[in-house]
Amino acid sequence: MTSRLETALRELRDTPEGRDLSQLEPEVWLRVGQARRAADADRGAMPMRMAAVLVALGVGAVVGGAHAAEGRPARPEISAFEVATELAPSTLLGGR
């Protein structure tokens, strides 16, 4: 009684080679070269990317500075964590 593994290994041994491996190394180096050229192209775009980042930071600083220079109102109308003592029951009752 043979196991499925032994049968599969026997079939694998009997199959002819599926691919000529003599050109494997040149194909690998071709792909490595393509990857290097793509990385070089990305490096070439780096100054443009840095310029875009610097422009975005500059615009953010200018807009943020202008917004901060406007100032804030002296007192907001309502605040979730405000202690409104003028509305406390003891102050609304007056002296009664």
Q: What is the DSSP string of 4-66?
A: HHHHHHHHHHHSPP-S-GGGHHHHHHHHHHHHHHHHHHHHHTHHHHHHHHHHHHHHHHHHHHH
Tell me what pLDDT residue 22 has: 83
Q: Give residue 95's pLDDT.
A: 57
Report the half-sphere exposure of 54 (CA within 13 A, side-chain side).
Answer: 6
Burial 24-42 (b: 16+ CB within 10 A, else e): eeeeeeeeeeeeeeeeeee
- List the pLDDT tens digit at each of the 96 positions of the chain: 578 999 999 888 888 777 777 888 999 999 999 999 988 888 888 889 999 999 999 999 999 888 877 776 666 566 667 676 676 776 767 655
pLDDT of residue 74: 62
Q: What is the pLDDT of residue 28?
A: 93
The pLDDT of residue 56: 97
